[in-house]
Amino acid sequence: MCENTFAVHLLHPAEMHNRSFLYSPDMHFTVSLKEENMKSFFNLFYDSGNELKKAGCLATTGLLIALFVVLDFASFRVGSFLKINFAFVPLSVIGMLFGPVPGMLAALAGDLIGCIISGQAPLPLLSLTAVLEGCLYGVMLYKKDGVKLAAMSAAARCIDSLVINLVLNTLILMSVGFMSKTWEQFVLRTGKNVVEMLVYAPLLAAFLPAVAAVYKRVRRTPAAK
């Protein structure tokens, strides 16, 4: 007749410590924090999308898109590669006030309108980086204020200059033949974007908090009867 046997395995104290690490409260807190950050990220897009239901958002965004197009055409060149362009300012204001969804739509609209006015065919990849630029300002600046807004404004402009303009746009221009694939060209374009970053980042950090303060004051002012 067979008998059931039970074995008890006792863990060494060191092994018990190692296994307890797998279920540590710190790890549970880290997972919860990541889930909360992801939830906040998606809620940012949800709240930003709801801004499009407001007449004030549509009117303000329309005016800023028009300003974006005007400033883009008002840009001027210094030398062969350095282009002074403040079109990013209204785009960053849209991102700050209404978030990434209106920011992306405004960037795409501004890019397409500019192509129509200039008579140039739009380049889908450059239009995509324009949308990415609008998303960048929206994600980093929406619902920010005070010192945090100033710091995030400077950071957003640095990312725009070094990642979107220098890396992505350079690769696109090289791939379509609008820019020669030489180190000289790349060095010149790097210097251009670094100079722009050093000028534009502190400018944006000072300008956007002032715009946010004025916008809040205007919204709180009761309409004249």
Domain span at 127 = 38-220
Q: Is residue 170 part of a domain?
A: yes
CATH number of the CATH domain containing 161: 1.10.1760.20
Q: To which H or E segment does residue 82 belong?
A: strand 82-84
Q: Is residue 186 part of a domain?
A: yes
SS3 74: coil
Which of 12-16, 29-33, 57-61 is the most confident on average?
A: 57-61
Q: Is residue 29 part of a domain?
A: no
* Cβ contact 32:48 at 8 Å: no
The rounded distance, in Å, linking the Cα atoms of 157 and 164 is 10
Q: Is residue 25 part of a domain?
A: no
- Buried-state track 27-43, b at ≥16 Cβ within 10 A, e below 16: eeeeeeeeeeeeeeeee
Q: Is residue 115 part of a domain?
A: yes
**Length of the chain in terms of residues written:** 225
What digits encode the pLDDT tens for the residues 140-191? 999 999 999 999 999 999 999 999 999 999 899 888 887 777 888 888 888 8
Neighbours of 170 (CB within 10 A): 18
**Model pTM score:** 0.80
The rounded distance, in Å, linking the Cα atoms of 132 and 107 is 8
| Per-residue CA distances from 13 to 7, 10, 18, 20, 23 (Å) | 19, 9, 9, 10, 16
SS3 84: strand
23: its two tokens = 């279920």
Q: What is the mean pLDDT of residues 2-30?
A: 50
Give me the number of domains the chain comprises.
Answer: 1
**The pLDDT of residue 12 is above 70:** no
The rounded distance, in Å, linking the Cα atoms of 81 and 60 is 33
Q: Is residue 5 part of a domain?
A: no
Q: Is residue 91 part of a domain?
A: yes
Q: Is residue 10 part of a domain?
A: no
Q: Torsion over CA of 31, 32, 33 and 35, rounded to 10 degrees?
A: 90
What digits encode the pLDDT tens for the residues 58-98? 999 999 999 999 998 887 776 665 677 899 999 999 999 99
